[in-house]
Amino acid sequence: MSPAVSRLPEGAATAALAEPVLRAVHLNKAFYLGETIYAVSDVNLAIGQGEFVVVTGPSGSGKSTLLSLLGGLDRPISGDVILDGHRYSRFNENGLANLRRTKIGFIFQFFNLIHHLSALENVLLPMSFAGIPRRQRLERAEELLDLVGLGQRRHHLPLQLSGGEQQRVAIARALANQPKVVLADEPTGNLDSKTSEEVGRLFARFNRELGQTFVVVSHAEVFHAHAHRVLHMHDGRIVRVDQGQRG
């Protein structure tokens, strides 16, 4: 499928805010599986500071691939991503790693905590990578765990926590370095509906109170209530942009 086909009207996905913190410019990602498959096809996107954007769409529509490109975990075949003025195409692997550790927070479906480290140590980890002084990072990690309601369980190992609690630790870890944007890939995909609601509310709270920018890939509608925009993807393209309930 050509990336030029079925493009959104110019500016549809980029119209939200005047000062985008994260932009995708003609982003393309293809895989060769007997034939060339475009997982992300000519995506243009601008996400403003403090915006809460949900990306939704059927399985295989390219949501997670888009997220990995936005997070600098993967390289596009063409196009570029600009985060806080930094063009990914100008960075090597080390440069992207530096961006990830200082400007991006990740939240995953399977929580992906380091299972031999306590909740506190998991939250401390990205701050250690960023070279934040020990005392300062300890204070911040404890504060974040308090904010997600796990202050009393900071010394528990992930396997001693429920799924929802693990995801809350993952949220605290993602926020540790005060990133420009938090990218969440199906954060409630492994949680029951009640816990999903709690996680959704937690996202909304950090977005409202801290002005934290969120890009959430999710099937679940639990996030729609908190989103400014909802982007619908199909066959690697953003085919529709809806106003979220906060939009």
Partner 1 sequence: MTFLALGFINAWRNLNRSALAALGMGMAAAVTVVALSLSAGYPGGAAYEYRRFVGGDVLIYASGHQVRETHLTGEKAPGSLVWRVLPRDPGTHLADFHPELFTVGTLMPAGSPPLMDPDAIARRALAEPAVRAVYPRYSLPALQETAAGAFKRELRGRNLELDRAVWRFERRVVAGRYFEPGDAGRPVALVDARAADVGLPAAAVGSTLRLLVPRVRYGPDGQPWFDYAAAEPVELEVIGLYTVPTRWRNLNTGHIYGGVAPAGTRGVRQYYWVTPQVLVPQETLLALFAAAGGRLPMPVAEVALVVHNLAFVENAVRRLQRLLPEHSVISTVRQARLANQAGRPERAEAGAELFQAGYAGPAFAVEVDFGPALVGLVFGIASLMMVANLLVVVHGRRREIAVLKAVGAKSREILTMVLVEALTVSLAGVVAGFLLVQWMVAVNILTSRPDLAAVGLTSARTLGWLVLLAVGFSLTFGLVPAWRAARLTVMEALRTR
The nearer residue to partner 1, 7 or 219, going by C-beta atoms, is 219
Residue 35 is encoded by which pair of tokens? 């034939």
CB 53 within 8 A of CB 243: no
CB of 101 to partner 1, least distance (A): 2
Nearer to partner 1, 14 or 65 (CB): 65
- State which of residues 38, 88, 108, 223 lies at the interface with partner 1 (CB under 8 A): 108
- Using CB under 8 A as the binding rule, whether residue 78 contacts partner 1 is answered as no
Q: Which DSSP letter does residue 89 get?
A: G
The least CB distance from residue 22 to partner 1, in Å, is 17
Residue count of the chain: 247
Q: Note whether 28 binds partner 1 by CB under 8 A.
A: no
Q: Does position 116 bind partner 1 by CB under 8 A?
A: yes
**Considering CB under 8 A, how many residues would be counted as binding partner 1?**
29
Residue 113 is a binding residue for partner 1 (CB under 8 A): yes
| Residues ≥6 apart with Cβ < 8 Å to 97 | none
155 lines the binding site for partner 1 (CB under 8 A): no
71 binds partner 1, rule: CB under 8 A:
yes
Q: What is the DSSP letter of 8?
A: P
Triad 213, 216, 220: Cα angle to 5°: 140
Candidates 5, 15, 77, 114: give the one binding partner 1 (CB under 8 A): 114
The smaller minimum CB distance to partner 1, of residues 79 and 179, is found at 179
- Of 5, 87, 110, 155, the residue at the interface with partner 1 (CB under 8 A) is 110
Residues 46-65 that bind partner 1 (CB under 8 A): 64-65
CB 247 within 8 A of CB 228: yes
DSSP alpha helix (H) spans, the chain: 63-70, 93-103, 119-129, 134-147, 163-175, 193-210
Is residue 188 within 8 Å of 156, Cβ to Cβ?
no
Q: Which of 1, 7, 84, 129 binds partner 1 (CB under 8 A)?
A: 129
Q: What is the DSSP string of 126-191?
A: HHHHTT--HHHHHHHHHHHHHHTT-GGGTTS-GGGS-HHHHHHHHHHHHHTT--SEEEEESTTTTS
**From candidates 109, 166, 188, 196, binder to partner 1 by CB under 8 A:** 109
Residues that bind partner 1 (CB under 8 A): 64-65, 68, 71, 73-74, 93-94, 97-98, 100-102, 106, 108-110, 112-116, 125-126, 128-130, 173, 185
